[in-house]
Amino acid sequence: MFPARLASLFGFVLIAIAAAVQGVRLDVPRVEDFVRRWNVAATVIGDYVYIDGGEINQFENGTIDEAPVYQVNSTLSIDISTSWTTSDVSIRTIGKPNAPRNAPMIWTDKEGTGGFYSWGGVFSLGRSVTGSEMWKFSADGRGGGSWSPFQDFANPEAFKILLSLERGAYANTDDKGFLIGGSVWGWTYLDTQAIPGMVSFDMRTKEISNGTANDAGSNRSPLEKLIGARAHFIPANTGTKSHQGLILVLGGHRSYVDRQCSLEDSPGFDFRNLLFFDPETGERYWQIATGDILPYPRAHFCVTGFTVARVGYDVFIFGRRNEAQQSYYDDAYILSLPGFVWILVPTPPAGPRFFQSVFTIIFTMNPH
């Protein structure tokens, strides 16, 4: 059983370690100057990984004792139809008119040549966010694409009153995007505060809604407040009872409704009692998991998953920040569905990380 699972791990690429090649300086520095990238949002569209936002540290002028941090001003793409290593990967830069942000939320739309919506996050290096704007990146199917401000909401007045937030948990189905919880903070607004509810966006009708935990129906938020969590869409026919798939909400912190939120002393969500919701009906399900239950609190980790043998699904999670102890970790776990069993991955990817991105690439084996 285990060799098969480990083999499938080779399908994961950790964006945080994506190195760089000689070429355009700074957004993609030379390999020997590259130190780290973090706080990006990444998605796979067709044969390409697109990486947006975040910051990069790199050496400059031959100095090795100082690696200044820069905001990343372009959107990056990597061809995943060919093989590469982190030292010879070719990373393309795509111009970006919108202000670069750290940890923006993205919803991926695979229709046509595909693209993604981007909203929220925080401006790099402490600059204040000025108003709420949603942008759409339209991919061209060849590793490029272009950005434009997205204004075609079916109900623009509903978008206008939404706060641009960060640290929410986002996920999307083929036609709907969700953003659960999140917060705004002192750099952006007067007070740091948790934002209740869940924003959902229908990518076909272009209608945006904001529901709370007390609402009924498909706009209902699965939780009242949630910060630093992750969400992951599990497709239908993978061992869950839903016909349209389910969204799994993992980790993060509860937040107090009546005080400013500090993650250090907000209780974390555990990984034994798992929360799922149905993206069509809003129905919530709690499910007890067994096995190697993950330590918590756990925030700002990364999550992806893959179908197993056409009947099950493995959710992979890696890294985390423990806000209570101000420390971070390099542990990796798999949640195996439909058994709901957590398995500690015996050989975690090297080095503790948080605020990283991970995604699944499905390789089709050539029979010859």
Ligand X SMILES: *[C@@H]1O[C@H](CO)[C@@H](O)[C@H](O)[C@H]1NC(C)=O
Residues that bind ligand X (CB under 6 A): 26-27, 56, 60-61, 66, 68, 70-73, 162-163, 165, 195-197, 199, 210, 212
Q: Which is nearer to ligand X, 58 or 240 (CB)?
A: 58
CB 195 to ligand X: min, Å: 5
Q: Which is nearer to ligand X, 139 or 162 (CB)?
A: 162
User: Contact 322/338 with Cβ under 8 angstroms?
Assistant: no
Euclidean distance between CA atoms 308 and 5, whole angstroms: 9
User: Contact 233/207 with Cβ under 8 angstroms?
Assistant: no
CB 328 to ligand X: min, Å: 24
Quick one: CA dihedral 171, 175, 176, 177, positive or negative? positive
Q: Which is nearer to ligand X, 222 or 305 (CB)?
A: 222
Euclidean distance between CA atoms 315 and 7, whole angstroms: 15
- C-alpha 260, offset from chain centre: 25
CB 220 to ligand X: min, Å: 12
CB 217 to ligand X: min, Å: 15
Q: Which is nearer to ligand X, 106 or 199 (CB)?
A: 199
Name the token pair of 218.
Answer: 């498909």
Secondary structure (H, E, C), 257-293: CCCCCCHHHCCECCCCEEEEECCCCCCEEEEECEECC
CB 44 to ligand X: min, Å: 23
CB 281 to ligand X: min, Å: 20
Q: Which is nearer to ligand X, 198 or 337 (CB)?
A: 198
- Picking from 252, 251, 270, the residue whose alpha carbon sits closest to that of residue 261 is 252
CB 30 to ligand X: min, Å: 13
Name the token pair of 156.
Answer: 């623009």
Q: Which is nearer to ligand X, 196 or 245 (CB)?
A: 196
Using DSSP, state whether 7 is helix, strand or coil. Answer: helix
Name the token pair of 345.
Answer: 């991955």
In this structure, how many other beta carbons lie within 10 angstroms of the beta carbon of residue 270?
Answer: 15
By beta-carbon distance, which residue lies closest to ligand X?
26
Q: Which is nearer to ligand X, 209 or 304 (CB)?
A: 209
E strands, 205-346, are 207-211, 230-234, 246-250, 273-277, 284-288, 290-291, 302-308, 312-322, 327-337, 341-344
